[in-house]
């Protein structure tokens, strides 16, 4: 599977994602912000970082770059798209997933390991996990607090992907830290699976996100 990894000025997790995709058996390739035609890719990952310095708000400037049109075409083709941290903020900003990721409740940067509950395994990224399985991945964000006015719809349509288990570090609504679109093909998560892709990093729980996508 050929996986495009989107790069913006300020991206800083692109190499980590490249390595994780390789570990999972995929063929990663970097894609710059000004590339419109992404039809050659079987799936996409939008990695974390601080695109355009998070000016205005996280993901706001990246959301109006040419590559977004290509991402939307990939979504129309029902190919898997994963947004991680800043990538999740970008997907929410352009309306490809419901809700928003806004300033943490304590308005400060949080960088720590988190226990997470997998709430659905119907997405390509979570299909190798058991429903309600507890996994461990790190978080690193200032604007990761999830909110939506349509929480009942998310429950009804099984669009909640990840929740914090026990402690909710950023004040997210119902401790939600990952959501998907109605089809489950577009997934936006704040935790970093690429930073939990090998046991030497402290956990390899995140590798299944990439294996599930690549073997889909």
Given a cut of 90, whether residue 99 has pLDDT beyond it is yes
Read off the pLDDT of residues 158-188 as tens digits, 9 standing for 90 and up.
999 999 998 999 999 999 999 999 999 999 9
The topology (CATH level 3) of 2-214 is: Rossmann fold (3.40.50)
**Which positions are catalytic?**
85, 192, 194
| pLDDT at res. 174 | 97
- The Cα–Cα gap between 165 and 123 comes to 20
- Residue pair 59/67 in contact (Cβ under 8 Å)? The answer is no
Q: What is the mean pLDDT of the segment spanning 100-127?
A: 96
The pTM assigned to this predicted structure is 0.96
Q: What is the mean pLDDT of the segment spanning 8-32?
A: 97
DSSP-derived 3-state class of residue 113: strand
- pLDDT over 70 percentage in the chain: 100
In degrees to the nearest 10, what's the CA dihedral of 64, 153, 158, 202?
Answer: 60
* Other beta carbons within 10 Å of 103: 16
DSSP 3-state helix, strand, coil percentages of the chain (rounded to 5)?
A: 25, 30, 45
Q: What is the mean pLDDT of the segment spanning 24-28?
A: 97
| pLDDT at res. 57 | 86
| pLDDT at res. 34 | 96
Q: What is the mean pLDDT of the segment spanning 13-38?
A: 97
Distances (CA, A) of 180 to 41, 80, 167, 189: 20, 11, 22, 9
| pLDDT at res. 65 | 96
Q: What is the mean pLDDT of the segment spanning 29-50?
A: 97
pLDDT band at 194 (very low <50, low <70, confident <90, very high): very high
Q: What is the mean pLDDT of the segment spanning 12-30?
A: 97
Indicate the domain borders of the chain: 2-214
| pLDDT at res. 45 | 98
| pLDDT at res. 55 | 83
- The Cα–Cα gap between 177 and 116 comes to 9
CB burial string 29-64: b at 16+ within 10 A, e below? eebebebeebeebbbbbbbbbbbbebeeebbebbbe
* Other beta carbons within 10 Å of 89: 29
Read off the pLDDT of residues 47-83 as tens digits, 9 standing for 90 and up.
999 999 888 889 999 999 999 999 999 999 999 999 9
pLDDT band at 117 (very low <50, low <70, confident <90, very high): very high
């Amino acid at each position: 599977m050929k996986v495009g990894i989107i790069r913006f000025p300020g991206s800083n997790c692109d190499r980590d994602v490249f390595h994780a995709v390789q570990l999972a058996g995929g063929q990663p390739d970097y894609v710059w912000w000004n590339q419109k035609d992404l039809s050659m890719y079987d799936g996409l990952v939008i990695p974390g970082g601080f695109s355009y310095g998070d000016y205005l708000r996280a993901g706001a400037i990246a959301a109006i770059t040419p590559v977004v049109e290509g991402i939307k075409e990939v979504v129309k083709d029902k190919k898997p798209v994963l947004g991680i941290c800043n990538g999740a903020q970008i997907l929410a900003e352009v309306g490809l997933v419901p809700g928003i990721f806004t300033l943490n409740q304590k308005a400060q940067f949080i960088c720590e390991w988190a226990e997470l509950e997998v709430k659905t395994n119907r997405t390509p990224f979570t299909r190798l996990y058991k429903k309600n399985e507890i996994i461990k991945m790190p978080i690193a964000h200032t604007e990761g607090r999830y909110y939506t006015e349509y929480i009942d719809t998310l429950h009804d349509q099984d669009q909640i992907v990840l929740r914090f288990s026990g402690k909710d570090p950023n004040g997210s609504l119902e401790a939600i830290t990952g959501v998907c679109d109605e089809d489950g093909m577009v997934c936006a998560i704040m935790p970093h699976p690429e930073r939990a892709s090998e046991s030497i990093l402290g956990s390899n729980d995140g590798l299944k996100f990439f294996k599930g996508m690549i073997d889909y």
